[in-house]
Structure 1
Amino acid sequence: MRRVHALAGLLLVAMVTTSAGMKSYLGHHVLSAQAMSEEQLQVLQNLEHQFDVLFLREPTPRLSTDIVVSPEDLNQVMTIMREAGMAASILCSDLQSHIDRERAEIAFSRRKRIMGSSMDYSVYRTIDEVNAVMKGWENSYPQLVKMKALEHKTHESRTVYYLEIGTALDSNGNSNKPVIFVESLTHAREWITTASLIYVIDTLLKNFHNTKFESALTDFTWVVIPVVNPDGYDFTWTQNRFWRKNLRFYSSQRHCLGVDVNRNYDIKFGTVGVSPNCTSDIHHGLSPFSEPETQNVRDLFLQFKARIVSFLSVHAFSQLLLHPWSYTTPNTSTEVPDNLQQLKIMGNKMIQALAYNGKLYRMGTAYDLVGYAASGGSIDWALAEKPGIYSYCFELRPQSFWQGGFMIPATEIIPTGQELLNSLMTMIQNL
């Protein structure tokens, strides 16, 4: 028992050591404001280039925007917003306290696991631990799981892995099964995405012989990239909890680091909802597919393209199910996907299934739901590359910062995973 307690103590020390070099958000406020006009929207967008601010939600005309503001800039930012006619409410007066609480919860969960109390999948895992989980599945279910490396290493020289999940043959002895393509954790700070996906995969594997789930692995092949952006994900554990992008390095003088991976696909690249400024959280990169992360998704998609029937991108937060096109607005284009009606019919069934635990999800395009369009996204590229497939972006729990935002408690992993699993099962039952 003494040895177990010693191990737990070492782990807690390691957690403190890991977090010691992290960006501090001590005294940073989280403000909530909503732009009611184009002029006010521009005021909010300009804040990113004027001050040390961070958008937890990009400014839109239909949803309130959550803005992290440093204590040094708080008065000026509040004055600018007030002069623009916007009322800002304070959601949090010390964001670091929320980060510290999350760290303490992670340490406590890990301590209980070491002491023998099973926490199942109600715990957030580092990138190395996620990779170990994947390897464990391959070892435990060799007839169902293959773990493979993708070709393009990240800017930090990490290997990105994907899974092929399912039986070799379907119930009719056919090996040419339809493919469900899933990619997750494109945006580094969205921890709930991969955690929920781990729950989904583990449930399918453990219950393979349950008639409720058997057809999911027998009649379909699942091609899954659990962590598209491992560099950024690791960065959120070691340097900056709210980092969003990858780790492309531009210039130390300009503090330029990172590309928004979900603005880097070759679909209306660089046209809307993006920034050429490399300091921006929505910087689209140098050119389409300039990033190893998008190159990996592209190449894997093309490898399975003939068999893909659905492309799913898992994000958080807001409790939405988005379908293409994400780059259009009523003012810029009347273009719609050829299979729009099928996307809506299926999507409505999927959001009903997402209400598994009573949570409300909404379905539509990005502009329909939040008044915000963005080009270069994965679901748009996938549908353009293979018209007719069911292409969606999940925005998982929660709805707001007050409910946890990107730091949603680990106790929410299983219920979020249940919602995601129920929605996926509903989709494949209706394909």
Structure 2
Amino acid sequence: MLPQSTLCLAAVSLAVGQLVRALPSFVASSGDHQNRQDDQSVLSASAPELGFEGYQVWRMPINRKDVENVGKLLNLDIWAHHPSSVDVLVPPHLMSHPLLASYIPNSSHPAFIPDVQKLIAGSSSSAFSSSSFKPYPRPSNGSIPITHPFHDRFHTYDEIHSFLLDLQTAWPEWVDVFSIGQSAEGRDIYAAKISPRVVATHSTTDKDGSDDEEESLKKNRHKHKHGHKKERSKKEMILMGGSHGREWIAPASMLYFAHHLLLNSHAPGVKPLLKTLSFTIVPVLNVDGYEFTHTNSRLWRKTRQVVDEESGCFGIDLNRNWGYHWSSEDDQYPCSDDFPGKHAFQAPETKAMSDYVASKDVISFVDLHSYGQLLMYPFSYSCDDFPPDAEDLMEALLGAAKALRSVQGTAYKTGQVCELVYRAAGDSVDWTYGNQEIKWSASMELPDTGTYGFLLPPREIRPVAEETVAALVYLAHFVVQKEGKLKDI
């Protein structure tokens, strides 16, 4: 006889099937939430801050096929996928919905995060007003200590740009800050290249947008346009974050990593790397969506590009818009949180980033996200396509996970994206590995595993950043040693 738990799950699965087949009967009852989600998707840039009073995050025992059906029916925001469950943002008026109730064993309450708005207030650190942040004086050479309070809070787009320029001012022979292109709303997508004896191409004499600075940015954008041949120089390790606006910990960790490299540029563990590689760091790819999370809706995921004039919906999921096995069969509802766009590279952000990658001699590409504590290798679009370099990639990521765990004991899982998260086409590392043949392509989901989700409090920035540094430094060493390129002096 089957165990009672198995029979219970079977009954739940049968109930779900019946409920999903009866979609029309639920559409009316879910209409309020549909409108709420659509309202968020069509918010204008001047819209007031969107609150989440009464919202909870539930961890629900549901398989991936069922969650697709339920998510589309109720237009739910799926926060994270786990092997046997998903984390779902649930609005107050859907908490008694019969479709959701079918997933609650023995009528137990499934709330994993009981008060989302409270966490937003705790994570924001004056997120919706930067007036409390007082910029520090422009530094002299090498004068920004890693203990500087900049790393104790999350920052806006403008503050991130200012900090990159400050790093360039402090280490002018090591840092070049430039723009790889512009977003849908016209913001520059800034990058910082760290390599000894770089020739700065971005003016640091005026942080307020002088003519010289604007002219320099235009030159840099032209220099990195698509069609330029790969530059003959040191191989690059490219680190990219902020594809999804609400994942604040990724940009914060990348800024800390850049700062760490510069402060330790002559240390035994870093000096050989900087003599061998150029590190290009793009803290925020989705600059419009990221800024929107600081001004309007903290949980915004996509870009702010107008994608459907009829519905008035905004946004493309950048990690569904890369041109490797991009699929028009994925969710084509423009208001959904994971809308992949109408075609690959429709988003100017993915187009700019892919053009930059294609123009460089890239040895490794790492895409940082949150949350889940995962280190992953391609592919995302299908588990049937197993990369021939899987053994090497797994060895690299297991070592990175061990290095990370040595800092403060945080455990990361390692494996293929499609196994650890979900199968989705248009992923960044699928494109870098499958299209650009960048062997050492990896994706990293930073902490935590759901206690805070996307809403880590500022006190977690340094611990997460420190262990992320350990993982990335290990990975860089592993790659150049495997490729036989490490310079010891």
**How has the CA–CA distance of structure 1 residues 141 and 47 changed in structure 2, closer, same or farther, with 3 Å as cutoff?**
same
Counterpart residue number, 2:442: 392
Counterparts of residues 79-228 of structure 1 (less than 5 Å) = 79-83=98-102, 89-103=110-124, 118-151=148-181, 153-168=182-197, 176-228=233-285
Give the counterpart letter for 2:469 in structure 1: L
**How has the CA–CA distance of structure 1 residues 343 and 389 changed in structure 2, closer, same or farther, with 3 Å as cutoff?**
same
Equivalent residues of 2:125, 2:154 under 8 A apart: no
Aligned-pair RMSD on alpha carbons? Answer: 2.7
Equivalent residues of 2:403, 2:474 under 8 A apart: yes
**How has the CA–CA distance of structure 1 residues 115 and 367 changed in structure 2, closer, same or farther, with 3 Å as cutoff?**
closer
Counterpart residue number, 2:61: 34
Equivalent residues of 1:124, 1:191 under 8 A apart: yes
Equivalent residues of 1:197, 1:417 under 8 A apart: yes
Residue of 316, 322, 327 corresponding to 1:259 = 316
Cα distance in 1 for residues equivalent to 2:270 and 2:235: 16
Unaligned runs of 5+ in 1: 1-17, 170-174
C-alpha displacement at 1:205, in angstroms?
Answer: 0.8
C-alpha displacement at 1:303, in angstroms?
Answer: 1.1
Q: Secondary structure at the match of 1:281?
A: coil
Counterpart residue number, 1:310: 364
Cα distance in 1 for residues equivalent to 2:352 and 2:401: 29
Equivalent residues of 1:29, 1:90 under 8 A apart: yes
Q: Secondary structure at the match of 1:295?
A: helix
**How has the CA–CA distance of structure 1 residues 226 and 367 changed in structure 2, closer, same or farther, with 3 Å as cutoff?**
same
Give the counterpart letter for 2:68 in structure 1: Q
C-alpha displacement at 1:301, in angstroms?
Answer: 0.3
**How has the CA–CA distance of structure 1 residues 158 and 84 changed in structure 2, closer, same or farther, with 3 Å as cutoff?**
same
Equivalent residues of 1:338, 1:388 under 8 A apart: no
Counterpart residue number, 2:464: 416
Does residue 280 of structure 1 match 2:336?
A: yes
Residue of 68, 89, 106 corresponding to 2:89 = 68
Counterpart residue number, 1:23: 50
Write out per-residue CA displacement over residues 375-405 of structure 1, whole angstroms, 9 at most, x where no aligned residue.
11111100112325200001111111x1x21
Residue of 344, 348, 367 corresponding to 1:292 = 348
Q: Secondary structure at the match of 1:373?
A: coil
Write out per-residue CA displacement over residues 285-334 of structure 1, whole angstroms, 9 at most, x where no aligned residue.
01011111101111110110xx21101101111000010111113xxx2x
Q: Secondary structure at the match of 1:233?
A: helix
Cα distance in 2 for residues equivalent to 1:52 and 1:212: 48
Equivalent residues of 1:270, 1:376 under 8 A apart: yes
**How has the CA–CA distance of structure 1 residues 387 and 253 changed in structure 2, closer, same or farther, with 3 Å as cutoff?**
closer
Structure whose CA Rg is larger: 2
**How has the CA–CA distance of structure 1 residues 114 and 127 changed in structure 2, closer, same or farther, with 3 Å as cutoff?**
closer
C-alpha displacement at 1:425, in angstroms?
Answer: 1.5
Write out per-residue CA displacement over residues 84-121 of structure 1, whole angstroms, 9 at most, x where no aligned residue.
67676012443222212333576999858689995241
Identity of aligned residues (%): 25
C-alpha displacement at 1:348, in angstroms?
Answer: 1.3
Counterpart residue number, 1:56: 79
Counterpart residue number, 2:428: 378
**How has the CA–CA distance of structure 1 residues 196 and 63 changed in structure 2, closer, same or farther, with 3 Å as cutoff?**
farther
Cα distance in 1 for residues equivalent to 2:129 and 2:463: 20
**How has the CA–CA distance of structure 1 residues 85 and 428 changed in structure 2, closer, same or farther, with 3 Å as cutoff?**
closer
**How has the CA–CA distance of structure 1 residues 85 and 138 changed in structure 2, closer, same or farther, with 3 Å as cutoff?**
closer
Equivalent residues of 1:268, 1:375 under 8 A apart: yes
C-alpha displacement at 1:163, in angstroms?
Answer: 1.6
**How has the CA–CA distance of structure 1 residues 247 and 108 changed in structure 2, closer, same or farther, with 3 Å as cutoff?**
closer
Counterpart residue number, 1:345: 395
Equivalent residues of 1:321, 1:361 under 8 A apart: yes
Equivalent residues of 2:242, 2:369 under 8 A apart: yes
Give the counterpart letter for 1:244 in structure 2: R
Cα distance in 2 for residues equivalent to 1:183 and 1:407: 20
Give the counterpart letter for 2:288 in structure 1: D
Q: Secondary structure at the match of 2:297?
A: coil
Write out per-residue CA displacement over residues 205-242 of structure 1, whole angstroms, 9 at most, x where no aligned residue.
12222222222222210122111010000011111111
Q: Secondary structure at the match of 2:339?
A: coil
Give the counterpart letter for 2:339 in structure 1: H
Cα distance in 2 for residues equivalent to 1:32 and 1:242: 18
Q: Secondary structure at the match of 1:223?
A: strand
Q: Secondary structure at the match of 1:405?
A: coil
Q: Secondary structure at the match of 2:369?
A: strand
Give the counterpart letter for 1:376 in structure 2: G
Equivalent residues of 2:254, 2:465 under 8 A apart: yes
Counterpart residue number, 1:360: 411
Q: TM-score, normalised by structure 1?
A: 0.83
C-alpha displacement at 1:81, in angstroms?
Answer: 2.7
Cα distance in 2 for residues equivalent to 1:20 and 1:256: 14
Q: TM-score, normalised by structure 2?
A: 0.74
Cα distance in 2 for residues equivalent to 1:182 and 1:97: 32
Q: How many residues align?
A: 390
Equivalent residues of 1:123, 1:410 under 8 A apart: yes
Cα distance in 2 for residues equivalent to 1:380 and 1:34: 28
Write out per-residue CA displacement over residues 36-95 of structure 1, whole angstroms, 9 at most, x where no aligned residue.
5x6xx42x323433336322125x6x142121222222221xx21333676760124432
**How has the CA–CA distance of structure 1 residues 92 and 222 changed in structure 2, closer, same or farther, with 3 Å as cutoff?**
closer
Runs of 4+ in 1 over 6 A off after TM superposition: 107-110, 112-117
Equivalent residues of 1:338, 1:387 under 8 A apart: no
Counterpart residue number, 1:11: none
Equivalent residues of 1:308, 1:389 under 8 A apart: no
Give the counterpart letter for 2:429 in structure 1: I
C-alpha displacement at 1:414, in angstroms?
Answer: 1.2
